[in-house]
Structure 1
């Protein structure tokens, strides 16, 4: 199996709700036989106080209960996912909700308990197997506890603050993987077009259904380039859409890897994912923020926690070396070129749309300023120009929106809470106004 197919299979497994319940089905087939085989050794279970009729009622109750749990969990979960996707952003469904192990393993427990109780009931004739009934009763008790936990867990999971925090955690891990080294002025100054000065000796076009590039196998590409003593350039960036006939690779050198081998190093999918896409976490959180800022919803208090996580991610990526476009061999020779986002990409993605849709709201204007001022304080000096440019754009936008100088002064205060968290030291004086007169 090629790397791209194996990667796609792993991604599908991680986001499949049905897989763990299916594994529970296979485990039941083994567990029910092992339980009856080792029943004489299960002496730690007290003899069941009821007879055949009581055990039958108990097993029927467990079956009915767990079946209800399964139906209720899947039905309510699908509805909740659709509602959360509509209120926040549909991108959280595949990237966050469907990959939650707590939900999958809880449903797996329900399925296993249901099948185990069904198997025990089918074998219940004239003799009561006390140990088996005890195991089924214990599984039923665990299912009740798991169901109550799942209700509380799902209610907490679907809150916007929980979603943006989870996306932020995943985004931080991706940034650390894509940009493993810390930033320095020398490394930042080395940013340039890494392509060789000569024209490519060969261009490989994409052939297939339109798709998104979700991941690449950089180590394998480096080995291929070393083997052929060539330079391999991946034209699209991770997260880019490619259609049939568009350039996929540019090759430089005299010997080239086979096209099928090169294409097997690229994983395609129907939508962007968080595995290797350093900007996708920003995109998801920004989408949540701007949807909360829409006129139909008008919920800036939901956008503020999203900006909190954007501040965290932006300051984290601002301290990393973002010049990872080139991959060199051990001798320092250029072998692989993969486009990656630069600092300006992250800054514009963080601020541009939220400023456009939310600057007219005091909470958003003040929170954005707090992010910019904090970034100017904690990030290296060579990151300042992009932040200062955004701060100037925010001031110009506020000047257009607010007619009253008092409102403008209020909007220009940096506030980490949006509205209500500023200190007197952050208050900026009114331009051209020494005092506010009471017209009454």
Structure 2
């Protein structure tokens, strides 16, 4: 099995809700036999005081209860996911909600309890296995606690602030993994220039169904380029759509690796994922923001929450070196070229659409001003031209939108809360604060 298939399999396992309940079914098959086999050694369980009739009613209650939990959980979860996807963005379903382990393992507990109680009831005859019934009762108690926890957890999970924070956390991990080196004033301007300047000696075309480039095995590409003594350039960027007969690789040199081998180093999928797509986290959060800014929803506060996380990610990217396109061997020879987003790409993705759809709102205009002024203050000087251009574009758009000088001044005021906090003092020196005047107790009014 090639690397691309293993990557796709791992991604499917991480985003599949049914796998943990299926594993619980397999665990039940082994657990029910082990419990009956080692029942006499379970001395830590007190003898169950009820007889056959009472044990039967208890097990039947547990079965009915856990079955209800499973049906209610899956039914309400599907509805909640669709509602959240419609109000926020459909991209959160596979990237966030279906990957949540708390939901998956809670449903797995329900399935295991249901099967264990069913197996214990099927083996219940004239003689009661008290310790087995006690274990079933304990599992039933844990299922009740798990169900109550799941309701509270799901209610908190589906809030916009929780979703954007989760996506931001995943984006931070990808940024730190793909850009491990901090930027300097000399190297912080952006990405490297792409590829060798000569025309390629061979073009490898993509053959297959239209798909998205999800991930790339860069280490394997480097090893293959070393082995073949050539330079390999990947034409599409991670997250790009590619159709059949479009260029996939450009090869430079005299000897070339097999096309089938090269294609196993690229993972394809139906939609973008967060594993290696560094701009996809930005894309999801921006989608949530502009969905909230639509006239049908009109929820600028949610958009402000999204901008908060965009500021976090943009500052993280801005403080790191984006020179990762040209991969060299230990001798310093260029071997692999993988296209990466530049600093201008990150800035435009963060601000352009939100400015277009939300500049007429005071909250959005003021929050964008605060982000830009904060980034101009904390990021290296090489990052400032793109930010200053966005700030100029924002001011020019506000000039056209607001006819009254008072509204224009209000919209241009940087505000970290959107509307409601003091002016953001990012680009001006803070005035010195006089020390407080101590008041003697004898001068106080009684």
Identify whether the pair has TM-score above 0.5, normalized to the shorter chain.
yes
Secondary structure at the residue paired with 1:188? coil
* Distance of 1:131 and 1:244 partners within structure 2: 62
1:171-186 alignment, distance < 5 Å? 171-186=171-186
Deviations 1:25-68 (A, max 9, x none): 00000000000000000111111111000000000000000000
Aligned equivalent of 1:411: 411
Aligned equivalent of 2:347: 347
- Normalised by the length of structure 1, the TM-score is 0.96
Deviations 1:285-332 (A, max 9, x none): 000000000001100011111000000000000001011001100001
Q: Root-mean-square deviation (CA), in Å?
A: 1.3
Q: Does 1:286 align with 2:286?
A: yes
* Distance of 1:127 and 1:352 partners within structure 2: 73
Aligned equivalent of 2:74: 74
Shift of 1:188: 3.3
Contact residue 206 and residue 244 of structure 2 kept, 8 A: yes
Moved over 3 A (4+): 188-192, 423-428
After superposition, the Cα gap between the structure-2 partners of 1:340 and 1:425, relative to the gap in structure 1 and judged at 3 Å, is: closer
Aligned equivalent of 1:229: 229
After superposition, the Cα gap between the structure-2 partners of 1:123 and 1:206, relative to the gap in structure 1 and judged at 3 Å, is: same
Shift of 1:186: 2.5
Aligned equivalent of 1:27: 27
After superposition, the Cα gap between the structure-2 partners of 1:425 and 1:348, relative to the gap in structure 1 and judged at 3 Å, is: closer
Q: Does 1:161 align with 2:165?
A: no
Secondary structure at the residue paired with 1:336? strand
Contact residue 204 and residue 247 of structure 1 kept, 8 A: yes
Contact residue 192 and residue 326 of structure 2 kept, 8 A: no
Secondary structure at the residue paired with 1:185? coil
* Distance of 1:291 and 1:65 partners within structure 2: 39
Shift of 1:426: 8.4
* Distance of 2:426 and 2:318 partners within structure 1: 24
1:422-437 alignment, distance < 5 Å? 422-423=422-423
Aligned equivalent of 1:431: none
Secondary structure at the residue paired with 1:290? helix
Aligned equivalent of 2:7: 7
Q: Does 1:125 align with 2:125?
A: yes
Count of residues in correspondence between the two structures: 428
Aligned equivalent of 2:140: 140
Shift of 1:379: 0.3
Q: Does 1:263 align with 2:263?
A: yes
Contact residue 282 and residue 349 of structure 1 kept, 8 A: yes
Secondary structure at the residue paired with 1:399? helix
Question: Structure 1: 5+ residue runs without aligned partners?
Answer: 429-440
Secondary structure at the residue paired with 1:187? coil
* Distance of 2:15 and 2:75 partners within structure 1: 18
Aligned equivalent of 1:96: 96
Shift of 1:179: 1.1
Shift of 1:365: 0.2
Aligned equivalent of 2:209: 209
* Distance of 1:64 and 1:265 partners within structure 2: 49
Aligned equivalent of 2:439: none
Aligned equivalent of 1:83: 83
Shift of 1:360: 0.3
Aligned equivalent of 1:397: 397
Aligned equivalent of 1:373: 373
Secondary structure at the residue paired with 1:237? coil
Aligned equivalent of 1:243: 243
Contact residue 359 and residue 397 of structure 2 kept, 8 A: yes
Contact residue 413 and residue 422 of structure 1 kept, 8 A: no
Aligned equivalent of 1:436: none
* Distance of 2:271 and 2:170 partners within structure 1: 17
After superposition, the Cα gap between the structure-2 partners of 1:370 and 1:207, relative to the gap in structure 1 and judged at 3 Å, is: same
* Distance of 2:109 and 2:306 partners within structure 1: 34
* Distance of 2:126 and 2:413 partners within structure 1: 79
* Distance of 1:424 and 1:190 partners within structure 2: 28
Contact residue 416 and residue 424 of structure 2 kept, 8 A: no
After superposition, the Cα gap between the structure-2 partners of 1:190 and 1:357, relative to the gap in structure 1 and judged at 3 Å, is: closer
Deviations 1:387-416 (A, max 9, x none): 000000000000000000000000000000
After superposition, the Cα gap between the structure-2 partners of 1:363 and 1:190, relative to the gap in structure 1 and judged at 3 Å, is: closer
After superposition, the Cα gap between the structure-2 partners of 1:191 and 1:60, relative to the gap in structure 1 and judged at 3 Å, is: closer
Aligned equivalent of 1:434: none
1:271-350 alignment, distance < 5 Å? 271-350=271-350
Contact residue 413 and residue 427 of structure 1 kept, 8 A: no
